[in-house]
Structure 1
Amino acid sequence: MKTIHNPVLRGFNPDPSILRVGDDYYIATSTFEWFPGVQIHHSRDLRHWRLAARPLERRSQLDMLGNPDSGGIWAPCLSYADGLFYLVFTDVKSHVGPFKDTHNYLVTAPSIEGPWSEPIYLNSSGFDPSLFHDDDGRKWLVNMIWDYRKGKNKFAGIALQEYSPEERRLLGPIRNIFRGTPLGLTEGPHLYKHNGWYYLVTAEGGTRFNHAVTVARSRSLFGPYEVDPENPVLTAANKPELELQRAGHASLVQTQTGDWYFAYLCGRPLRPSERCILGRETALLPVEWTEDGWLRPAGGGNSPKAVVPAPDLPDHPFPPEPETDHFDGERISIHFQTLREPLDEQWASLTARSGYLRLIGRESLSSKHRQSLIARRQQAFVAEAETAVEFEPDTFQQLAGLIHYYNTRNYYYLYISRDEELGKCLNIMCSDRGLYDEPLEQPVSVDGWERVHLKASLRYDRLQFLYSRDGQDWTPIGPELDASVISDENVEAKIEGRMIDQGFTGAFLGICVQDLSGQGKHADFDYFTYRELPEPGV
């Protein structure tokens, strides 16, 4: 029997929206402050997946300059009708405190690869929008409603309003069709129609360890919605023994052979820290309809599973991804992303020096505006990242190197700079919840080196930086560092029960340059390697 090994999308791929068009399956996931916005993976068998598209690739489609950490793209929903792909998404401008500024948009395309249209503004009443195409041809938007008022349920229900493709806007009355179950924190709505029933699949319990999938149904689109008597349909809450935790935020798909699957988000915490260093990931679970018309995980129970049966479809593997980008093509690898804004020749050039990526130093790692940083997801517990950089700083305000990054307040950075006594040198900076540190007693001189090779070696919750002159003989630099800092669980902070910081992303490995003097000093990177290694065991 063929099996699916979860998670199918590893390393920071949350809030999955799954879709089948013919023999092709697609999953759209959240990207938050990383640009381009939205990841779409493609499969033909639900077992093998490849990153196929990032639809929001122009500043006119998505302008995130100044967006907060873990703002930006939340919970996209991908659908298909009338020969077009529809993608709705939220651009979150603020999310900590009583208010959430959440603007919802729609883009369309004739093909998953695009071209994707300019965005149509929908509303700002809450996040997690989803577009439902009814069988009479009408289209309906659902999203959760945010209530800022003290003493009120912040997750105030699920709003429903009709969308007019002709007028390119929402119209008609706004209805609150579902106010949730006692689990609370009702979000992530998706509507489906099956055997004359409208089914509303929601995420509840919050996206941490109490996360869950709940289902309600109605004969009328407008409700009232009857809650599944056995809710939650899927959860890992109070089951610490399970490998997959944080299970929730599901969407539903039917295969060509009549099987049904949930795509849902999950996390794989390290023990005993309970930190998910790879962020929230995407898993699949076969589900089936009961005689009385409810959804249940195939095989019983309501727990997420690491290994599940696969549909009887022809195998469709994809060629392996190259480990190294030599920066000798017209574009960088699709796996790279930037922070809040598109890659631009003015600060990131593949043509200024053939065979190199030239990054021009801009703002600091604290900036939510113009960082010269390019990175990719860490997608395995045991992995390495490596680069070679040529950089001649004139001052300590000019830095370039290799980074293990979560957000502007949480990162580890091995960088080249200049010291008044040592000349060109290597140093490490750390930020943990905004607390800055330098673990080296003093920088390591590399004065006179034309090129410096840098490496980050990750083994579960341990990070070791290394450096080399020739890329062959490596020398560790600094102590082993706590890689679990780069996780949602570490970032989240409360004071007297009030949330003051939240994180919803994951670990990235990348390269960056800063010039805090404003002179625009550049660094040339010859290659970037991301390599996943066998896991010896936790």
Structure 2
Amino acid sequence: MSLIQNPILPGFNPDPSIVRVGDDYYIATSTFEWYPGVQIHHSRDLAHWQLVKRPLDRAAQLDLRGDPDSGGVWAPCLTHADGLFWLIYSDVKRRDGAWKDSHNYLVTAPAIAGPWSDPVYLNSSGFDPSLFHDQDGRKWLMNMIWDHNKTGGDRFGGIVMQEYSVEDRALTGPVRNIYRGTDLKLTEGPHLYLRDGWYYLLTAEGGTGYDHAVTMARSRDLFGPYETDPAKHILTARGTDGLLQRTGHADIVETQDGQHYMVHLCSRPLPETRTLPTGAGGIHADDVRRSPLGRETAIQKLTWAPGEFPHLAHGGNAPADTAPAPDVPDHPFDPAPERVTFSPQGLPIDLQWLRTPHPERLFSLTKRPGALRLFGRESPGSQFDHALVARRQQHLAFTAEAELDMIPGDYQHFAGLIAWYGRFKFHYLAVTANDDGARVLTVYSCAADWPDARVSYPVDQIPLPATGTIRLGCDVDGAVLRFRYATDGDWTDLGIALDQSAISDEAGNGPGNNFTGAFVGVCAHDTSGRGRPADVLNFRYAGRDHG
């Protein structure tokens, strides 16, 4: 029997929603402040996956300018009915404090490739919206409801349901609170399934840190009451020290021959940070473990007997590193090339940018044929116009390189290679100018969360030739990042080791407060407001074994 190796979607790919259409499987995952919105991967064997589409790609569908770090697109739900794909998503405009501004929308398409419709606004009562297509053809929207009047840190008010009218393109009828969860609290991420006369409600609980879990309940009636599975949590890594941690937020798919699989988010803490302190409270090491790859997607096989709650096929409720593959032919995809070149046809699909639906303000693929021209915009702390183009870190160890052609006008104009998590977590190897206007190389490093974030300058400015391209490189091995550069000859190491583990969910405010993952890419800034450019001639990313 062949095995599927977890995670199936490495790197930042959280909150998976899975659907099968014929012999094809699709998973949609959250993209938060990254544009275009929602990643959709395709597979035919559940083991091999290929990124095929980001459907929210225009201003009418999504505008993330001003959204906070780890705001934006949360927890999409992808389903198929009536000859259409239905995609539900949240755009979270505020996520801190007593209130959340979470706007939920629906788009549809006849095929994954599109065309995807303009959105239908649904509601703003909470996040993690999900659409259920009942056997009678009626459609029901679910989401967790946010209760700002609650105190004590749990403002999750339960899972609410309301009918969606296709004819009216709007929600209609009463809002019903169908499930308030268990004592683990923080009940979210609903998905509903009809099987053997039962409505099965799958939810996530415990927050998205190391207490995360998947809970199932069921009812004979759509509106409940829902009885929680006596086993309580179908999946959790809580209190374990295995490879996969922070497991939760799941969805279930049935194969062509009636088998069931559950996809779920997880994280893989760096091995050097996985030593777990123990004490009276058990295993709690949120301030120790670090997962730069963010929350990834894994898969588990289920056993689901008629009339029973499902459970993990391998027993217990802890995640397994592998899952038995379904009995279908292997369907691998060609690997993506390491080296990226640029053409007017568009960015390679692995690359994204931040927030704006107007990328022409940030970059051009036509101003200099064969290059990516970045227009220096606002500072690295900007939530609006930030000229950064990057790809996910998908390996615990990797090499990234870029070739830059840039003559900085002054010290307010800078560009280069960046390891990025968010506005207050990054390491940036930058070409800029000194006070006298001469071209130099420097490093800007910020490795904390607000309000403790401070930019440091780990190296003295390094003189560069006045003209010519500069090659910039970084080598990451687990928790350590090292920068290097080259002009005409061999690479020169900067001689510093930076903390790559700080480019992670857990660093700073900890898991449950940061939701994305590490990226590496190129960027340009011009804090004078003149929009002066920098040209990237190529970019390379190569993963390798860690340690």
| TM-score interval, smaller chain | over 0.9
Report deviation, 1:290: 3.6
Secondary structure of residue in 1 paired with 2:506: helix
State the partner residue of 2:226: 225
Alignment partners' CA distance in 1, 2:156 and 2:10: 29
Contact map agreement 2:198 2:219 (CA 8 A) in 1: yes
1:196 and 2:214 correspond: no
State the partner residue of 1:436: 454
State the partner residue of 1:3: 3
Q: Return 38-47 or 448-457, whichever deviates more.
A: 448-457
Q: 1:484 aligns with which of 493, 501, 524?
A: 501
State the partner residue of 2:422: 407
1:252 and 2:252 correspond: yes
Deviation by residue 1:111-141 (Cα, 9 ceiling, x = unmatched) = 0011110010000000000000001100000
Q: What residue ranges of structure 2 are gaps of 5+ in the alignment? A: 274-287
Deviation by residue 1:272-309 (Cα, 9 ceiling, x = unmatched) = 34111100000000001146511100021111011111
State the partner residue of 1:316: 331
Secondary structure of residue in 1 paired with 2:47: coil
Alignment partners' CA distance in 2, 1:2 and 1:150: 48
Deviation by residue 1:457-484 (Cα, 9 ceiling, x = unmatched) = 11011000110114x6111115110001
Contact map agreement 1:410 1:491 (CA 8 A) in 2: no
State the partner residue of 1:468: 486
Alignment of 1:302-313 (within 5 A): 302-313=317-328
State the partner residue of 1:298: 313
Alignment of 1:335-484 (within 5 A): 335-342=350-357, 344-421=359-436, 423-432=438-447, 433-434=449-450, 435-470=453-488, 473-484=490-501
Report deviation, 1:192: 0.4
Report deviation, 1:325: 1.4
Report deviation, 1:374: 0.6
Report deviation, 1:502: 2.2
Alignment partners' CA distance in 1, 2:520 and 2:149: 39
Contact map agreement 1:422 1:445 (CA 8 A) in 2: no
State the partner residue of 2:284: none
Report deviation, 1:422: 7.3
- Relative to the length of structure 2, the TM-score reads 0.94
Report deviation, 1:456: 1.2
Q: What residue ranges of structure 1 are gaps of 5+ in the alignment? A: 494-498
Alignment partners' CA distance in 2, 1:483 and 1:142: 38
Residue identity in the other structure for 2:389 = I
Residue identity in the other structure for 1:463 = L
Deviation by residue 1:487-530 (Cα, 9 ceiling, x = unmatched) = 1101326xxxxx9x921000000111111111221111101111
Residue identity in the other structure for 1:451 = T
Q: 1:513 aligns with which of 508, 524, 536?
A: 524
Residue identity in the other structure for 2:84 = L
- Relative to the length of structure 1, the TM-score reads 0.96
Secondary structure of residue in 2 paired with 1:358: strand
State the partner residue of 2:285: none
State the partner residue of 1:496: none
Alignment partners' CA distance in 2, 1:347 and 1:374: 9
Contact map agreement 1:88 1:107 (CA 8 A) in 2: yes
Residue identity in the other structure for 1:212 = A
Alignment partners' CA distance in 2, 1:456 and 1:436: 22
Alignment partners' CA distance in 2, 1:200 and 1:459: 41
Report deviation, 1:50: 0.3
Alignment partners' CA distance in 2, 1:177 and 1:97: 26
Contact map agreement 2:293 2:396 (CA 8 A) in 1: yes
Alignment partners' CA distance in 1, 2:195 and 2:464: 66
Q: Return 214-223 or 416-425, whichever deviates more.
A: 416-425
Report deviation, 1:329: 4.5
State the partner residue of 2:276: none
Secondary structure of residue in 1 paired with 2:501: helix
Secondary structure of residue in 2 paired with 1:46: coil
RMSD across aligned C-alpha pairs, in angstroms?
1.4
Secondary structure of residue in 2 paired with 1:345: helix
Alignment partners' CA distance in 1, 2:457 and 2:168: 58
Identity %: 53
